[in-house]
Amino acid sequence: MSYIVGLLPDVLPPGGVQRVSRHVAAVTAKFAADHNIAIRFLSMNDPHGLHTVRVGALEFVVSGYAGSKAQFIVAAMRAARRKPALVIALHPHLAPVAWAMKVRTRKLRSMVFTHGIEVWQPLAWPRGPALRRADIVVGPSTDTVQRLISAQGVGEDKVQRLPWGLDPEFAARLAARDRLLPPPGFPQGKRIILSVGRWDTAEQYKGADTLIMALPQVLKAMPDVSLVLVGDGNDRPRLEQLARDRGIVERTQFLHGLTAEQLSGCYANCDAFALPSRGEGFGLVFLEAMAHSKPVVGGAHAGIPDIVEDGVTGLLVPYGDAGRLGQALESLLSHADEARQMGERGRERVLREFSFERFQSTLEELLRDVSF
């Protein structure tokens, strides 16, 4: 029987990389079951033991190693003794482990998934050489694919683009979007600009501070606007202080610890979504906002232009330009009919091009090509 090994950073916490890892693992597990292939998933950072994870109707089991690199590597090398046909690494930082497994098992093929900003600069040894020695390197956007070739030196023939898809559970909640209520603390009776992200110092590139700096400009034209920032992290105190310094603390609401249903309620009850980032490898939150028929404003950088069509499904602005960002938000909020049309076009595009079913079909085709 053939055998596949999956190397995961972690899958249990929230986060974009974790969600993509869950999606890839779930689809790969189904592919393996359909083709009578044995499979084992190893997670370096999830708690010790076996964990069953569900993604919609799909399911997989993963072994966690609680952050112990030594135990994780030992488990991977033991798995290599069974002479697997394929190893899948869900982050380029795990590529060296896949490379070591290939050295041990000569016929083993490897596939490494990348996400975005982590491959913008050349990776040092052993990550860079390991990435280049993979048989297939996957990126979610045109920008990431180009950087894999130019910055990492990965052969163009090895690189594959695989856009991420909506989470099946999120898609299921869309059917009830007209009945979704906003969470406690969500402003009432106002026009709402929504942003969703992880507000960490390492991810200041998301541009939440630029949103806060742009809000006074928007308020001059539309005093009934509020900004809601959903997420948490060690940079949130700085952002809260920035709102106080700008005199807009009463118009800036930070929400965190929301359930999936409450987050959907935020999308359903906002007027526009904005994340003026320069470093999104893809941008799953844009898919979620667009699926709720919301016009979006994004940074004109990295993977965002793959999702947001400027002037069609939303507006793109240069990173860090609070003036341009304010103008874009004013435009959306003051032209309701045009904004509504953008939102509808965005929803149609997401359902057509970024559904989980399309992601699953494309990944299964890729697995067939590399596994047999």
* φ, ψ for residue 273, nearest 5 deg: -115, 140
Residue 91's Cβ-count burial label (10 Å; 0-12, 13-18, 19+) is buried
User: How many CA within 13 A on the CB side of residue 192?
Assistant: 23
Helix (H, G, I), strand (E, B) or coil at 308: coil
**pTM here?**
0.95
The closest of 192, 7, 160 to 97, measured between CA atoms, is 7
Residue 245's Cβ-count burial label (10 Å; 0-12, 13-18, 19+) is exposed
Please tell me the predicted confidence (pLDDT) of residue 180: 81
DSSP 153-211: ---GGGEEE------HHHHHHHTTGGGPPPPTT---SSEEEEEE----GGGGGG-HHHH
Q: Which domains does the chain have, with CATH numbers?
A: 3-164+356-371 (3.40.50.2000), 169-353 (3.40.50.2000)
Q: Are 168 and 238 in contact (CB under 8 A)?
A: no
pLDDT in tens, 79-106: 999 999 999 999 999 999 999 999 988 8
Please tell me the predicted confidence (pLDDT) of residue 105: 87
- Residue 316: which residues within 8 A CB-CB, separation 6 or more? 297, 298, 299, 300, 304, 305, 308, 310
Total residue count of the chain as it appears in this document: 372
pLDDT in tens, 220-233: 999 999 999 999 99
pLDDT tier for residue 190 given thresholds of 50, 70 and 90? confident
Measured distance CA(243)–CA(255) in Å, rounded = 14
Q: Are 176 and 256 in contact (CB under 8 A)?
A: no
pLDDT in tens, 221-272: 999 999 999 999 999 999 999 999 999 999 999 999 999 899 999 999 999 9
Q: Are 232 and 197 in contact (CB under 8 A)?
A: no
- Residue 231: which residues within 8 A CB-CB, separation 6 or more? 195, 196, 197, 198, 199, 256
